C-alpha cells in the first residue's frame, strides 16, 4: 500500500495539474459565456453537485445543474452568466484530487438595470481513471450585490 502511494506521488505532476485546472476553469467560463451547456456539463464529474451562491441551495447531479443553468440563461437575453477567477489551486499528495478557490461574479439584467452579484467559491476537482480532470463539487457564497433594487432579495 505504501509503495503504491509512493508510486502515485512520484507520477503526480502538481505544476502541470495546476495549469490544467486553471485552463479548464477558463474553458468553463467561456462555455458559460457562449451558453454552451453541453460543454459546461462535459467538465462535470458524474457525481457533480453544487451549492448555489445566492440561495445556498444544494443541487445534486449534472442533469439538475444543467437544467438550472439553461433556465438562468433563458430568463434574460442580456444574461452575461457567471465568471470564476481562480485565486489558488492545491493538488492532493496523490495527484488525484485538487482544491480550487477563488472569487466569482454573476451578471444579468433586471428591469431597473444591470445587476452584479459577487462572492467566493471552492471547487473540488478529481482526476478520472483516464487522467482527465473533472469538477466533482463547487460551493459558492454570495457576498455583495450592486446595480439593482433586486439585490434586496438576497440576504447578504
How far, in Å, CA of 25 to CA of 59, rounded?
Answer: 20
Contact 51, 140 (CB under 8 A): yes
For 61-116, write each residue's pLDDT tens digit.
878 777 777 776 666 666 778 899 999 999 999 999 999 999 999 998 888 988 99
Q: What pTM was estimated for this model as a whole? A: 0.85
- Write down the pLDDT at residue 141: 96
Chain-centroid distance, C-alpha 61: 14
For 115-141, write each residue's pLDDT tens digit.
999 999 999 999 999 999 999 999 999
Q: 3 pLDDT exceeds 70?
A: no
How far, in Å, CA of 61 to CA of 74, rounded?
Answer: 20
Q: 10 pLDDT exceeds 50?
A: no
* pLDDT-derived band at 5, boundaries 50, 70, 90: very low
Q: What are phi and psi of 61, to 5 degrees?
A: 95, 150
CA distances from 142 to 46, 104, 105 (A): 26, 9, 9
Q: Please report the domains of the chain, with CATH numbers, ordered by start residue.
A: 2-153 (3.10.450.50)
Amino acid at each position: 500500500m505504501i509503495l503504491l502511494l509512493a508510486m502515485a506521488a512520484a507520477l503526480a505532476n502538481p505544476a502541470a495539474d495546476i495549469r490544467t485546472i486553471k485552463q479548464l476553469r477558463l474553458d468553463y467560463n467561456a462555455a458559460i459565456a457562449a451558453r454552451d451547456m453541453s460543454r459546461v456539463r462535459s467538465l462535470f464529474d458524474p457525481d457533480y453537485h453544487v451549492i448555489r451562491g445566492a440561495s445556498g441551495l444544494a443541487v445534486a447531479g449534472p442533469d439538475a445543474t444543467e437544467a438550472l443553468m439553461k433556465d438562468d440563461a433563458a430568463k434574460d437575453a442580456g444574461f452575461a452568466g457567471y465568471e470564476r477567477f481562480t485565486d489558488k489551486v492545491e493538488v492532493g499528495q496523490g495527484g488525484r484530487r485538487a482544491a480550487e478557490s477563488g472569487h466569482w461574479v454573476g451578471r444579468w439584467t433586471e428591469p431597473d438595470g444591470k445587476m452584479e452579484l459577487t462572492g467566493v467559491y471552492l471547487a473540488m476537482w478529481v482526476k478520472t481513471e483516464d487522467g482527465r480532470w473533472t469538477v466533482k463539487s463547487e460551493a459558492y457564497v454570495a457576498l455583495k450585490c450592486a446595480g439593482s433594487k433586486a439585490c434586496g432579495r438576497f440576504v447578504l
